[in-house]
Structure 1
Amino acid sequence: MASTYQNVSSHTFVPAVWDSKLITQFDPLLVWASPIVANRKYEGVIRQKGDVVHINSLTRPSVGTYTLPEGMTSQRPETVDQALPITEAKYIQVLVETIEQLQSAGALETPLNQQMIRALAREADTFMGNLIVKGAMALPVVKPTAGSLPQSLYSTILDMMLALDGNDIPDGRYVVVSPRVKRYLIEHPAISNAGAYGEAGVTANGLVARLAGFSVLSTTAMPAGVDIVAGHSEFTTYASQFTGFRLGQSEKYRADYIDSLHLYGGKIVRFPGLDTQKAGNTFDESKPTKGIVKAAVEWPA
């Protein structure tokens, strides 16, 4: 009679510490889904794919003129509710000989599991990048010459700054560039001499430098047809939840597994007074947001 593998102690092991450990390794790999680019300001609980969380946009109060004897008229703050559906469900599963080995050796840091975490982060980042680019305003295509690349790309960022200034977008902005843009942009003195460039830890979340009120980031997860995107995190919400680790015995191998399900979704956030409102206190989501701009580069031969 064939013997059945069983590690009795593994079935009483609860890997509570691994949730925070996974997040610690996962979050620095994000660019589009990082807090620099997308906020986490939503209400609701994420338990499964198909859940809906909510975002509230505060309406801008009207300004009155103070006179005597009329005095002042109070206004109640009003919000516009926006639904964010959880559309994505991805998982990570770690296979180990025994749970004790996982606990003692830190198996999430092994090369194989690091690649699994990177792949999971890449999925989330690609999803958010496509969502953000789809909702951004398009600026004219950048057409530099071979000798003007650094200056042309730098000028494009300043044009994006002007476009965002024109819509009263607050400070704390970001600009995300493709690796090819970064290659030439860092030749410009304004970037190469930026204070953050070369600082310890600036590679987290793809951060390259800080310039003209922007955090400059770069990623290989750049959506097709765009090279530079600038905006503010208030205009995109990323809702994400790891469901907690599940423990079990592998049906195929003499080993145990630990897995976690990653549930997430994203939304371009609209604001009263800035975006087009429709009947029923909703927004016209077919139009781009004024808080994010994008541009493509027509590269010289």
Structure 2
Amino acid sequence: MAIFPAAGNTQISSFIPEVWAALLMAPLHEELVLGSDLCTNRDYEGDIAGPGDQVHINSLVRPAVVGYTRNADVLPELLDTDRQTLAIDHGKAFAFILDDVDAVQQAQAGTDKPHPIYAATLESMQALKVAADSYVGTKMVAGALADNKKIFKATGSSPGDPFNALVDYGVVLDNADVPVKGRFAVVRPEVKALILKHDKFIASSYGSAEPIQNGVIGSLAGFTVAVTPHMPTGVNMIVGSPIATTYGDQLSKLEAIRHPTKFGDVVRGLHVAGAKVIRPEALIIASES
């Protein structure tokens, strides 16, 4: 038990020196969820080099199907395409400096733990993931059809039933001819709690040695369910197929240089990305209100 001297009777010997731990406590890591292959496609990632780039997407307009009678002519139609543009409008950067003195002190600690530059770079990359997930979610909300924006309450005295909601959302996707394979439902943690308590929920890895990837927790009503706390404000569920949203990104710069006026190393990186809802009928947004 620590005994502190009475006020006004402080002796130098009573001060406890500060001790700096050699091992850095890193922030909790995040997985890419909304920007993962579970929720998006990377069909047009192409030649992204930096912010401001544009990727032009030509989608085929479905040819008309006409009635046929014996000996009648079937007139061909010209194939047509519908052009969309994927703008690379997301750019996030990081830069930090490690003073040579701090680097030496870490080396003198004699640990076999990762070097601070390596650890800080990894944590910066994790921050880029969080920013990218939030960016994709915002694009999904903006690009969804007005009729596909639903209300699902996750809080309050009468939260919704996630199974019934997903069944209804499945009907919307069925009527839009959205493929059944690969359908997902990304939810915020409050909805995850409702799903985990549901008797129809099928867990993906509970009791298994297989790790949970990209926030996936299991399946419900034919949807692969994943969770992230980085949903757009007020949105409880983003439901659909990866064909709805295309996403492309690049870590366009990652470099280490000596600081021009300080004794230390500078590490900096630039991440650029673009996301666009190209098939809005394959996406449903469920919000609190």
**1:144-223 equivalent positions in 2, closer than 5 A:** 146=157, 149=159, 152-171=161-180, 172-191=182-201, 193-197=202-206, 199-223=208-232
Give the CA RMSD over aligned residues: 3.2
1:138 aligned residue (149, 152, 172): 149
Instruction: Compute the displacement of 1:202 (Å).
Output: 4.7
SS in 1 for 2:83: strand
**1:4-153 equivalent positions in 2, closer than 5 A:** 29-42=31-44, 44-70=46-72, 72-75=74-77, 77-93=79-95, 110-136=118-144, 137-142=148-153, 146=157, 149=159, 152-153=161-162
Judged with a 3 Å threshold, the aligned counterparts in structure 2 of structure 1 residues 83 and 143 are, in CA distance, closer, same or farther, namely: closer
1:236 corresponds to which residue?
245
Question: Do the aligned residues in 2 keep the contact of 1:202 with 1:208 (CA within 8 Å)?
Answer: no
Question: Do the aligned residues in 1 keep the contact of 2:154 with 2:190 (CA within 8 Å)?
Answer: no
CA distance in structure 1 between the partners assigned to 2:251 and 2:155 by the alignment: 44
1:261 corresponds to which residue?
270
- Identity, % of aligned positions: 31
Judged with a 3 Å threshold, the aligned counterparts in structure 2 of structure 1 residues 110 and 48 are, in CA distance, closer, same or farther, namely: closer
Report the more deviating stretch, 253-262 or 209-218.
Answer: 253-262
CA distance in structure 2 between the partners assigned to 1:108 and 1:166 by the alignment: 53
Question: Do the aligned residues in 1 keep the contact of 2:50 with 2:272 (CA within 8 Å)?
Answer: yes
Q: How many residues are treated as equivalent by the alignment?
A: 247
Instruction: Compute the displacement of 1:199 (Å).
Output: 4.5
SS in 2 for 1:112: helix
Question: Do the aligned residues in 2 keep the contact of 1:142 with 1:156 (CA within 8 Å)?
Answer: no
CA distance in structure 2 between the partners assigned to 1:84 and 1:198 by the alignment: 42
Gaps of 5+ in 2: 1-29
Q: Which amino acid aligns with 2:236?
A: D
Q: Which structure is larger by alpha-carbon Rg, 1 or 2?
A: 2
Judged with a 3 Å threshold, the aligned counterparts in structure 2 of structure 1 residues 250 and 105 are, in CA distance, closer, same or farther, namely: farther
CA distance in structure 2 between the partners assigned to 1:189 and 1:269 by the alignment: 35
Instruction: Compute the displacement of 1:39 (Å).
Output: 1.2
SS in 2 for 1:204: coil
2:282 corresponds to which residue?
291
Question: Do the aligned residues in 2 keep the contact of 1:173 with 1:214 (CA within 8 Å)?
Answer: yes
* Cα deviations by residue, 1:217-272 (Å, 9 ceiling, x for unpaired): 110101111111201111111121111433421235433334331111211114xx
1:25 corresponds to which residue?
none
2:9 corresponds to which residue?
none
Instruction: Compute the displacement of 1:92 (Å).
Output: 3.6
Question: Do the aligned residues in 2 keep the contact of 1:88 with 1:264 (CA within 8 Å)?
Answer: yes
CA distance in structure 2 between the partners assigned to 1:188 and 1:109 by the alignment: 45
CA distance in structure 2 between the partners assigned to 1:243 and 1:64 by the alignment: 49
CA distance in structure 2 between the partners assigned to 1:251 and 1:205 by the alignment: 40
Instruction: Compute the displacement of 1:186 (Å).
Output: 0.7
CA distance in structure 2 between the partners assigned to 1:211 and 1:62 by the alignment: 37
Instruction: Compute the displacement of 1:153 (Å).
Output: 1.9
TM-score by length of 2: 0.73
2:259 corresponds to which residue?
250
Judged with a 3 Å threshold, the aligned counterparts in structure 2 of structure 1 residues 228 and 239 are, in CA distance, closer, same or farther, namely: same
Gaps of 5+ in 1: 1-27, 271-288
Instruction: Compute the displacement of 1:296 (Å).
Output: 2.6
TM-score by length of 1: 0.70
Report the more deviating stretch, 104-113 or 205-214.
Answer: 104-113
